[in-house]
């Protein structure tokens, strides 16, 4: 899950760097938005190094005196749509007042109005500012809108006074974040092995056989499993996707390499989700040098690649094994045939010719075919939402197996 962390201009801003680390330990992907006041206490480079993401410090990215480009001018909309939660910590009295009044005069306050994600604020300020009627009124207005407020701790303050106003502990802030997200760590203690992306089967040093898989579905499963508390091993073919936070990445290229990597790690796994689009065939002969254009016709002799799903399912023991089936026709027939041929617990099937499903899109339309026959067709959902449903089903099947049903 992705969190936008808004850092405002108070002395407690330095604590936000450690907060980023704690959020990352909880498997959150964090991007930071800093107000101009925050930059007086910390440099953006600190957060860029910690998060691996660009730090947003201004509404318009162009240099002074230059016109802003369209991309930077609407970036707050893009951020608003991709985050799962907005956390403002520390939140100064001034920023709380702007949020309560709906004043959008910088990136952070504009992001607050633009996002529909849950919002958590952790105030930090002088005790007199904290107790001022205006601050109390602003907090009441925010709470009435559903904003979660993490009350500050009491103690010695930077101004020399003692009382309420210190930024709440990281654990208190994390508890509020989990609550705002209805966070369920129901995969804590599980080890989830996920395969993702395409494989590439080399013909010569220049050419290879592959498919259109972007890896998004498998990466979404890995990200969702990590967010739910699992230890995740992601065996991935070549993709352009960033590794989800808290996930162990094992990069591979060919089906043979993927089979070896899965074989190496599968004994650790309690749940296996085979979302990779593994090439079914590879050239019998790989040419050492680039094949030159010559004869008008060219024939390639192909052989089958290892059936990784069948191998894992045959030795699955007590682990739950999930396979994917990308089809272009007779979806249910082919999915049930695959379920009958391989002792997997669940087949997730999608028709890649269907609008909004399959390759190169952020959504998917799947049908779940569990071995117990309780089939379920899902509507068009984001791949992250599909991932959550797949993990829900895997847990249901695991619970049923444990109870002997």
Is there a single domain that holds both residue 240 and residue 154? no
Tell how far CA 199 is from the center of its chain. 22
Is there a single domain that holds both residue 123 and residue 220? no
Q: Which alpha helices (H) appear in 301-345, and where do they start and end?
A: 308-314, 331-341
Q: Is 141 exposed, middle or buried (0-12, 13-18, 19+ CB in 10 A)?
A: middle
Final residue before a domain boundary, out of 180, 202, 230: 180
356-377 per-position pLDDT tens digit: 777 777 788 999 999 999 999 9
d(CA 138, CA 97): 6
pLDDT at 27: 82
Residue 346 lies in a domain: yes
Residue 186 lies in a domain: no
Is there a single domain that holds both residue 369 and residue 337? yes
Is there a single domain that holds both residue 228 and residue 86? no
Query: For the chain, how big is the Rg over CA atoms in Å?
Result: 25
d(CA 346, CA 156): 56
Element (H, E) at 149: strand 148-149
- The question of whether 159 is a catalytic residue gets the answer yes
Residue 311 maps to which CATH number? 3.40.50.10300
Residue 140 lies in a domain: yes
Tokens of 361: 């899109």
243-273 per-position pLDDT tens digit: 887 899 999 999 999 999 999 999 999 999 9
Is there a single domain that holds both residue 202 and residue 144? no
The answer to whether residues 367 and 335 touch, using CB atoms and an 8 Å cutoff, is: yes
Residue range(s) defining the domain that contains residue 358: 191-286+298-403
Question: How many Cβ atoms from other residues are within 10 Å of residue 170's Cβ?
Answer: 17
In the three-class reduction of DSSP (H, G, I as helix; E, B as strand; rest coil), residue 24 is classed as: helix
pLDDT at 71: 45
Tokens of 306: 């290892």
Is there a single domain that holds both residue 254 and residue 396? yes
pLDDT at 179: 85
pLDDT at 330: 92
The total domain count for the chain is: 2
Residue 185 lies in a domain: no
Is there a single domain that holds both residue 173 and residue 201? no
In the three-class reduction of DSSP (H, G, I as helix; E, B as strand; rest coil), residue 322 is classed as: strand
d(CA 90, CA 152): 10
How crowded is the C-beta side of 287, counted as CA atoms within 13 Å? 12
What is the full DSSP assignment across 180-229?
A: HTT---TTTT-EEEEEESB--EESSSS-EE-----SHHHHHHHHHHHHTT
Final residue before a domain boundary, out of 180, 205, 222: 180
Is there a single domain that holds both residue 159 and residue 219? no
Residue 202 lies in a domain: yes
**Residue segments in the chain with a per-residue pLDDT below the cut of 70:** 60-76, 156-164, 401-405
Final residue before a domain boundary, out of 146, 180, 214: 180
pLDDT at 272: 98
Is there a single domain that holds both residue 82 and residue 221? no
Is there a single domain that holds both residue 88 and residue 166? yes
d(CA 376, CA 382): 17
Could you say which of 159, 300, 304, 377 is catalytic?
A: 159
Tokens 């480079």, residue?
45
Residue 274 lies in a domain: yes
pTM of this prediction? 0.65
Tokens 């101004």, residue?
159
Is there a single domain that holds both residue 112 and residue 195? no
Q: Which stretches does DSSP call E strand in 27-145?
A: 29-34, 85-91, 119-123
Residue 40 maps to which CATH number? 3.40.50.1950
Residue 291 lies in a domain: no
Is there a single domain that holds both residue 89 and residue 214? no
Q: Is 145 exposed, middle or buried (0-12, 13-18, 19+ CB in 10 A)?
A: exposed
Residue 293 lies in a domain: no
């Amino acid at each position: 899950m992705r969190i936008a962390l808004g850092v405002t201009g108070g002395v407690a801003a330095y604590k936000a760097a450690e907060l980023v680390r704690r959020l990352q330990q909880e498997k959150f992907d964090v991007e930071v938005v800093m107000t101009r006041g925050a930059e007086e206490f910390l440099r953006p480079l600190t957060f860029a190094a910690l998060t691996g993401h660009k730090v947003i410090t201004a509404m318009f990215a162009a240099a002074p005196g230059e016109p802003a480009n369209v991309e930077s001018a609407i970036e707050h909309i893009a951020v608003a749509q991709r985050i799962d939660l907005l956390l403002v910590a520390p939140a100064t009295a001034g920023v709380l007042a702007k949020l309560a009044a709906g004043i959008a005069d910088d990136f952070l306050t504009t992001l607050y109005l633009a996002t529909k994600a849950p919002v958590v604020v952790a105030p930090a300020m002088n005790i007199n500012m904290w107790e001022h009627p205006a601050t109390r009124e602003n907090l009441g207005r925010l709470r009435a809108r559903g904003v979660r407020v993490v009350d500050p701790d009491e103690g010695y303050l930077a101004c020399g006074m003692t009382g309420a106003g210190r930024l709440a502990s990281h654990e208190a802030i994390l508890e509020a974040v989990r609550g705002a997200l209805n966070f369920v760590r129901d995969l804590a203690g599980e080890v989830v092995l996920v395969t993702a992306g395409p494989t590439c089967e080399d013909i010569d040093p220049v050419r290879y056989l592959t498919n259109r898989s972007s890896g998004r579905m498998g990466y979404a499963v890995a990200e969702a499993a990590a967010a739910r508390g699992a230890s995740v091993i992601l065996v991935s073919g070549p993709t352009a996707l960033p590794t989800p936070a808290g996930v162990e990445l094992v990069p591979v290229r060919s089906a043979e390499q993927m089979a070896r990597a899965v074989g190496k790690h599968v004994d650790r796994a309690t749940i296996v989700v085979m979302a990779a689009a593994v090439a079914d065939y590879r050239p019998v002969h790989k040419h050492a040098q680039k094949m030159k254009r010559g004869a008008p016709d060219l024939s390639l002799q192909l052989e089958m690649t290892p059936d990784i799903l069948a191998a894992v399912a045959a030795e699955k023991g007590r682990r739950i094994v999930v396979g994917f089936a990308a089809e272009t026709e007779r979806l249910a027939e082919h999915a049930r045939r695959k379920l009958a041929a391989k002792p997997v617990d669940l087949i997730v099937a999608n028709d890649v010719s269907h609008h909004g499903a399959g390759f190169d899109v952020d959504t998917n339309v799947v049908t779940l075919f569990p071995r117990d026959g309780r089939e379920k067709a899902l509507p068009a959902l984001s791949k992250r939402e599909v991932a959550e449903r797949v993990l829900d089903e895997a847990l249901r099947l695991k619970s049923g197996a444990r109870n002997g049903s």
